[in-house]
Amino acid sequence: MPPRTRRSEALTRQRIVDAAIELLDTTGDAGLTFRTLTERLATGPGAIYWHVANKGELLAAATEALVTAALPADLPGGIHGVALGLFDAISAHPWLATQLATQLSRSPSKSVTPLIFEAIGREVRALDVPDGDQFIAASALLHYILGAAGQNAANARVAGSGTERAEFLNSVSKAWEQLDPDDYPFTRAVAAQMREHDDREQFLAGIDLILAGITARER
């Protein structure tokens, strides 16, 4: 029998969170289990539970770490900067989309929700939106950003590389074009755009559309 792998560093909460992120990135949502995690960290489940209360807390910690990194206090670019910061984080870590949705709804007073809401709200305020409209404007931006970024990440997750991605979008586009013309005129009409669109460009156009609505109401 080969000698047991010896851990080079002591087990810490931070090391566990890092390993979890790596596992989620490489093997996807379903890839993180306490079995795979203990294997990677060369330890037993009990050791992990000493540092972390349960799987939910572990996922929350992983999510918070990435969101904090994506939204530094000195982030430039106004609302577009915030939107792209989250967009890129979700692109790099597709599982974040699902996590953020659950965290937002299950624990709206916990760290990650105020973190994102504040970053968006700060920029909404900078646009001189009247007080009564700020909550709605920030909510609309929040939901659009998370939804659109998640959608895009999902496409990337299914597709993998660049050419695979093109193939995937192409197959979706084709499926849409084959829908019943009477029942699905709109979906058929935009099928071509589904194939050709540039993600970031499309994403930012959506932001601008919402911003146009915000400033239109200002007057």
Partner DNA sequence: ACCTGAACACCGTTCAAGT
Number of residues that bind its own copies (CB under 8 A): 64
Does residue 86 sit in helix, strand or coil? helix
The single residue among 25, 36, 117, 179 that binds DNA, judged by CB under 7 A, is 36
**C-alpha angle 162-164-165 in degrees, rounded to nearest 5:** 65
Number of residues that bind DNA (CB under 7 A): 19
Write phi, then psi, for 110 (nearest 5 degrees): -80, 160
Residue bearing tokens 């560093």: 9
The single residue among 81, 133, 159, 195 that binds its own copies, judged by CB under 8 A, is 133
* 5 forms part of the interface with DNA (CB under 7 A): no
**Three-class HEC string of 183-218:** CCHHHHHCHHHHHHCCHHHHHHHHHHHHHHHHHHHH
Distance CA 133, CA 209 (A): 16
For DNA, the binding residues in 51-110 under the rule CB under 7 A are 51, 54-56
Q: Shortest gap between Cβ of 11 and DNA (angstroms)?
A: 3
Does residue 9 sit in helix, strand or coil? coil
* 109 forms part of the interface with its own copies (CB under 8 A): yes
DSSP designation for 179 = S
* 45 forms part of the interface with DNA (CB under 7 A): yes
Contacts of 25 (CB under 8 A, 6+ apart): 92, 93, 95
Q: Shortest gap between Cβ of 100 and DNA (angstroms)?
A: 19
The single residue among 18, 22, 25, 43 that binds DNA, judged by CB under 7 A, is 43
Residues that bind its own copies (CB under 8 A): 97-98, 101-102, 104-106, 108-109, 114, 117-118, 121-122, 124-125, 131, 133-140, 142-144, 146-148, 150-151, 153-155, 158, 171-172, 175-176, 179, 183-187, 189-190, 193-194, 197, 202, 205-206, 209-217
Q: Which residues bind DNA (CB under 7 A)?
A: 10-11, 32-36, 42-47, 49-51, 54-56
